[in-house]
Structure 1
Amino acid sequence: MIDQLSRYVPVLVWARAYNRQTFSNDMIAAVIVTIMLIPQSLAYAMLAGLPPEAGIYASIVPIILYAIFGTSRALAVGPVAVVSLLTASAIGQVAEQGTAGYAAAALTLAFLSGGFLLMLGVFRLGFLANFLSHPVIAGFIAASGILIATSQLKHILGVSAGGRTLPEMLGSIVANLSQLNSVTLAIGVLATGFLFWIRNNLKATLKRLGAPDLLADISTKAGPVVAVVATTLAVWGFDLADRGVKIVGEVPQSLPPLTLPDFSPALLEALLAPAILISIIGFVESVSVAQTLAAKKRQRVNPDQELIGLGAANLGAAFTGGYPVTGGFARSVVNFDAGAETPAAGAFTAIGLTIAAIALTPLVYYLPNATLAATIIVAVLGLVDLSILKKTWNYSRADFTAVAATIVLTLGLGVELGVAAGVAISVLLQLYKTSRPHVAEVGLVPGTQHFRNILRHKVETDPTLLTLRVDESLYFVNTRFLEEMIEHRIIDGNGLRNVVLMFSAVNEVDYSALESLESINHRLVEMGIGLHLSEVKGPVMDRLKRSHFIDQLNGRIFMSQYDAWTAFASQPVSGDIKETRIGT
């Protein structure tokens, strides 16, 4: 009974072996992640258009729930930049920022996201996330990083601006440059430069000075806290709020409240599609990080159980004043590098954030928004990897098209339309590629029983025998291509008496493809040419036997292509690699 329950509640597995050493390692990791997460939580809440405390609330109960139901030992769950951007984009269309309706919509979005993830996990439907290809995800994240960084420029400049797309944001900023606040700009630029320096240079500098690795790590991760403290003291000490510097203001000093999402049908309908999008993107990002970190310690992550863990975390956020969450790349890597051994490290992080919510929130009253914006900009610019364009251009023009289209459309039309268009383009490109399957005419490699493409190798062929190797499964999209190719080849092949289709790479033949094979067979019967199959896989053969095709076949089925060659080759000739191309 316990073993069955542990499949769905992994805490019952790792808790059995918990000991003092594991506790010590988890606590150290929790301290480091908590230091990193406090300013990040405030900043990501601002990015989502929510009060700063929402970021802290979204980092407490969700972490605990994931620790109970998740399978990754190092994944750190909470607000992340991309999901925060998607949240702002989704609820900004149904409610005005700063209103009670806006906060309620965020709770509803988290509830829908959690429910959808939970459903996928219970019914083991995690494979649906595969419809988001890596090029689309890479393009979307890069474009989102640019959008997020651009959206924070208004806080660095101290101006009022809006917009959901890159042109709208830049246009709004330029139109409001007359509002520029020089003091805010100074704080924003200094904080951004300081954080970039810490991110890129502090750890190496401390190591050169002889600092231990742990101290160097903690100091680097505490960099944003230093920026927060320094700029907060500057605003407080010099009364910079009176000079137009916008500050966080009062943050409630309390535990996460019990909240209830808005279940009105109109709101649920409006947020359902964005919730599904957020769920899938969040899951793909989360499980990718979890599997990468687990592989380093030869551990295993169960994607379907991860769906349940993330679903529970989002449901927890919905009822405790938060908004949609997922596993964050940066904080998970920090958690792993700091030595976290079990999900208990996340639970300890939640305790640290609870203490911060109760005791430390008054200290951020004078925290300038420009510093939080700098924290976001430095964090997200690491997501912008435009080298994916060059890599995909060199490797696959189809993948390049998907990446480029996703980036351009996300920047130009917004995040939802951008990623939806990227997925649609990927599916269409895949359909186009499979509609033109790779079919090679093959010949016998001299002195062997192997057959290779006549366009790539010097092989023996026979003018009376045509052998085509079909390198993909046959289904309704690509069967017409095969028909046309055979028709073209037999018209040009004077003296042709036999056609052999080599099925060694065919894993599936659907009903449309079966009808096409029957049509090919009928056409060849009329021309006095035999149609034969070779190297047909068992499952394909089983299905063909359930049809009339085998009985009507104007030829034979061979175990190997060499058997077919031996049966039909009458006057083989050796040939050089041909210059003309048949098919693809």
Structure 2
Amino acid sequence: MTTPKSARRSWKAYLPILAWGRTYDRDALTNDLVAAVIVTIMLIPQSLAYALLAGLPAEMGLYASILPLVAYAIFGTSRALAVGPVAVISLMTAASVGAVAAQGTAGYVVAAITLAFLSGVFLILMGVFRLGFLANLLSHPIVSGFITASGIIIAASQLKHIFGIQADGHNLLDLLISLISGIAGTNPITLAIGVVSTAFLFWVRKGLKPLLSRAGLRPRLADILAKAGPVAAVAATTLAAWGLDLGAAGVKLVGTVPQGLPPLSLPSFAPDLVLALIGPAALISLIGFVESVSVAQTLAARKRQRIDPDQELIGLGASNVAAAFTGGYPVTGGFARSVVNFDAGAETPAAGAFTAVGLAVATLLLTPLLAFLPQATLAATIIVAVLSLIDFSILKKTWAYSKPDFIAVASTILATLSLGVEIGVSVGVVLSILIHLYRTSKPHMAIVGRVPGTEHYRNVRRHAVITQPGIVSLRVDESLYFANARYLEDYVYDLVATRPDIRHVVLACPAVNLIDMSALESLEAIDRRLTDMGVKLHLSEVKGPVMDALRRTDFLEHLSGKVFLSHHMAMCELAGPGPGDQAPLAAQ
């Protein structure tokens, strides 16, 4: 049986690998292999560190960076996005899983795997039903505020490893209290390792590449060596811990990391656990998608490529499901690793698959060497990585541009710092919706007049324009829906009540993209009341989709006035023959 052509196109749309795979050549292979080597070197210490941040065994970070990369290479649309554990998602995982199981137990690991599965299913369903727009519930300023606060919490949570003490807490206050309580037990050797590693990694980020360039190395080789800085810190401190037997001196080490490929694992389908994690899974999915698609779009734009946000949902969903079945935890597209992948010359998602092969080899051959790796080194790696996420300038920008946005950002930061990441992001979502409702509930409306010598109509308060006696032209600069329908009614009634000479009210609708049922009922009420007052209601410049909706009702049959194609046509017809223009109004 032959598959219809449209169906074949539909299936291919879900497998972007079929598109870029047809043109894959030797040059792309070479570039992808080089990028994979660089990203693999970067991901080994980073994956271990993020797993510890999530409160999970270190090897789960490696597991979450192998098969998910392969899944994304098959289903994702970005040529440079590198999928795996990231700081913010790891922190959210710790907060979510910590609420249902104790850290260090088998139940904690199972809950993390289940969280990855639920996140994957949620993302795939969003992609299949093309619900990528739901990510718009999180405005960019609020996401920036949430990531800034999360970065602070992440950095604070790693200080316990720098000092070599016990501390816990999912918000900044609890963490600081716990750190202060245990500061007396600081291990001097651990502190020295942590401080030196942090200082070295900061220097590597800013100073190593210029130094290597001055030494005569080519820019690309200098950049590769600079990116490998964390590996140097890992190697040096691991060697020191092994040679000096620092574990016996109280320095906390990563310990034995299982050698071998990721194991097959199954999420739990226990109803109580699923119900407890479904909400956090939805939040993690939204945050992960927003972070990932922002990076993917930025990198794609640099090469004049494009991504499909809905297919990205499926790609990320498949990656999370893959993580769940191979001993991993929730993943998304990481900013730092994706930029490194892009800068290293990755041409296609195959670079991610090659990176997965490199990490698989590392789990087979290198994990015995990681047993002596100090946790303070991994903590330093996380601190240096997340401090770049902290951006308090968003407060200054929003204060200068929009006070409601400032309130939303500041509230999100404070809620995240004081109450934890889940409540913080929930506050961000709610505030985003409330700000939208607040802004659109009182839409900007302007009485407009004709600019002399033109057919253009502008606000009488901003321009010297010509108006017609007995006619009010009211431009509505927002779609009309339940939240602002009553506001429109009150505005029109007040306007007509203060102008007894009015005989025609023309609603100019060039910015109206929607009239919902509530707004339609308000328009009907306005028309009836104006008719009783001897005033006719007219509409102008109504968009096609809005007219289509109005024609499906009897509103146009009962409308006291007319619907005009252009506002100028309305004014010419309603003004009648002969000069009747009033003198231009002074601009205010």
Q: Same fold (TM over 0.5)?
A: yes
Match of 1:20 in 2: 26
Match of 2:243 in 1: 237
**Corresponding residue to 2:513 among 502, 507, 514:** 507
Q: Which moved more, 1:398-407 or 1:337-346?
A: 398-407
Instruction: Give the letter aligned to residue 166 of structure 2.
Output: S
Match of 2:585 in 1: 575
Instruction: Give the letter aligned to residue 114 of structure 2.
Output: T
Q: Provide the C-alpha distance between the structure 1 equivalents of 2:129 and 2:548, rounded to a whole number of angstroms.
A: 30
Does residue 289 in structure 1 map to residue 295 in structure 2? yes
Conserved? CA contact 1:462–1:573, under 8 Å: no
Aligned pairs for 1:123-272 (under 5 A) are 123-272=129-278
Q: Which moved more, 1:122-131 or 1:70-79?
A: 122-131
Match of 1:416 in 2: 422
Aligned pairs for 1:288-437 (under 5 A) are 288-437=294-443
Q: Which secondary structure state, in structure 2, belongs to the residue aligned with residue 152 of structure 1? A: helix
Root mean square deviation of aligned Cα: 1.5
State the Cα distance separating 1:538 from its structure 2 match: 2.6
Does residue 452 in structure 1 map to residue 452 in structure 2? no
State the Cα distance separating 1:4 from its structure 2 match: 5.0
Unaligned stretches of 5+ residues in structure 2: none
Relative to structure 1, is the Cα distance of residues 469 and 86 closer, same or farther in structure 2, using a 3 angstrom cutoff? same
Q: Provide the C-alpha distance between the structure 1 equivalents of 2:451 and 2:242, rounded to a whole number of angstroms.
A: 82
Conserved? CA contact 1:80–1:328, under 8 Å: yes
Q: Provide the C-alpha distance between the structure 2 equivalents of 1:380 and 1:39, rounded to a whole number of angstroms.
A: 14
State the Cα distance separating 1:3 from its structure 2 match: 5.4
Percent identical residues: 63
Conserved? CA contact 1:95–1:102, under 8 Å: yes
Match of 1:562 in 2: 568
Match of 1:101 in 2: 107
Q: Provide the C-alpha distance between the structure 2 equivalents of 1:255 and 1:568, rounded to a whole number of angstroms.
A: 79
Give me the TM-score of the superposition, normalised by structure 2: 0.95
Q: Provide the C-alpha distance between the structure 1 equivalents of 2:112 and 2:543, rounded to a whole number of angstroms.
A: 52
Q: C-alpha deviations, 1:504-527, integer Å up to 9, x for none?
A: 222222222122112212222222
Give me the TM-score of the superposition, normalised by structure 1: 0.96
Instruction: Give the letter aligned to residue 206 of structure 2.
Output: N
Does residue 532 in structure 1 map to residue 538 in structure 2? yes
Match of 1:582 in 2: none
Q: C-alpha deviations, 1:407-458, integer Å up to 9, x for none?
A: 1111111111110111101101101111101110111111212110011111
Q: Provide the C-alpha distance between the structure 2 equivalents of 1:491 and 1:230, rounded to a whole number of angstroms.
A: 81
Does residue 489 in structure 1 map to residue 499 in structure 2? no
Q: C-alpha deviations, 1:44-76, integer Å up to 9, x for none?
A: 010010111111111111111111221211111
Instruction: Give the letter aligned to residue 552 of structure 2.
Output: R
Q: Provide the C-alpha distance between the structure 2 equivalents of 1:557 and 1:342, rounded to a whole number of angstroms.
A: 53
Conserved? CA contact 1:156–1:370, under 8 Å: yes
Conserved? CA contact 1:463–1:493, under 8 Å: no
Relative to structure 1, is the Cα distance of residues 272 and 209 closer, same or farther in structure 2, using a 3 angstrom cutoff? same
Conserved? CA contact 1:437–1:471, under 8 Å: yes
Conserved? CA contact 2:78–2:349, under 8 Å: yes
Q: Which secondary structure state, in structure 2, belongs to the residue aligned with residue 300 of structure 1? A: coil
Relative to structure 1, is the Cα distance of residues 549 and 7 closer, same or farther in structure 2, using a 3 angstrom cutoff? closer
Does residue 520 in structure 1 map to residue 526 in structure 2? yes
Unaligned stretches of 5+ residues in structure 1: 579-584
Q: C-alpha deviations, 1:79-99, integer Å up to 9, x for none?
A: 111111111111001111111
Equivalent pairs counted in the alignment come to: 578
Relative to structure 1, is the Cα distance of residues 542 and 358 closer, same or farther in structure 2, using a 3 angstrom cutoff? closer
Relative to structure 1, is the Cα distance of residues 505 and 188 closer, same or farther in structure 2, using a 3 angstrom cutoff? same
Instruction: Give the letter aligned to residue 548 of structure 1.
Output: D
Q: Provide the C-alpha distance between the structure 2 equivalents of 1:373 and 1:499, rounded to a whole number of angstroms.
A: 67
Match of 1:122 in 2: 128
Q: C-alpha deviations, 1:324-345, integer Å up to 9, x for none?
A: 1111111011011101111111
**Corresponding residue to 1:46 among 35, 47, 52:** 52
State the Cα distance separating 1:546 from its structure 2 match: 3.5
